[in-house]
Amino acid sequence: MADIKVMVVDDDNNICEFLRLYFEKEGYEVMLCHDGQQAVDMFPKFNPSIIMLDVMMPKLDGWQVCREIRKVSDVPIIMVTAKGETFDKVLGLELGADDYIVKPFDAKEVVARVKAVLRRSGASDNGGIKKVEFDKLTINLTNYELTVNGKSIDTPPKELELIYHLASNPNKVYTRDQLLDEVWGFDYYGDSRTVDVHVKRLREKLEGVSDYWSLKTVWGVGYKFETK
């Protein structure tokens, strides 16, 4: 496995030390931050592979930290919230969080979630290029680039991950819940409008590019990347 660096951001020192113990058992390098501002300051120096990010913290809360980091990086982020706290899953999705977990949690579950998110992000790969190509379209998940007619198109990370997932499985129909689980990694129940928003934005970029493929709605079910 590649060298994995985990940044744990939580104002509860006991939780930080608890997670450090388990992550170090996995052979991961760990940095602890006890408030949001410290996390933002230390992020470029530590360059983590993944971040465990508490929501309720002093100085900057988890939402603010997520926003700041997403301005400069697509590093995987798992949001952490205490049971009973208001946690807006849609907000987490929109901000670019990759997963969430609720306290109190089991350490083995946390480690399993981290490994799953790292697999999806490619951080635990051995450097293989993740790319799919169709007529006039290239989706490169290794360098997060969408190319249409030879031109690079500005595409937010989750949009690119969504179209890559669909295009990697052409003509396979996915429900919204499947896409939330497989692309965002959320065990998600309820409002799935975030998927619709991302598909709409992708359509604006891809509509009419080629007669050989299209991003299709399967009414009453979900979406597919259709090829001819």
Per residue in 86-114, pLDDT tens? 556 666 667 778 888 888 888 888 888 88
Domain region containing 11: 5-121
Backbone angles phi, psi at 91, to 5 degrees: -60, -45
pTM, two decimal places: 0.57
Do 107 and 136 fall within a single domain? Answer: no
Mean pLDDT of 2-20: 89
Give CA–CA dist 166/178, Å, rounded. Answer: 11
Do 85 and 162 fall within a single domain? Answer: no
The pLDDT value given to residue 85: 59
Chosen domain end from 121, 153, 182: 121
Weakest-pLDDT range from 35-39, 115-119, 131-135, 219-223? 115-119
**Residue 62 in contact with residue 9, Cβ under 8 Å?**
yes
Q: Which residues touch 116 (CB under 8 Å, ≥6 apart)?
A: 99, 185
Backbone angles phi, psi at 7, to 5 degrees: -100, 120
Confidence of residue 123 (pLDDT cuts 50, 70, 90): low
Q: What's the structural domain count of the chain?
A: 2
Residue 126 belongs to a domain: no
The structure tokens listed for 150 are 């030879």
Do 135 and 112 fall within a single domain? Answer: no
> Is the peptide bond between 157 and the residue preceding it cis, with omega within 30 degrees of 0?
no
Do 83 and 138 fall within a single domain? Answer: no
pLDDT at 56 over 60: yes
Mean of per-residue pLDDT scores for the chain: 85
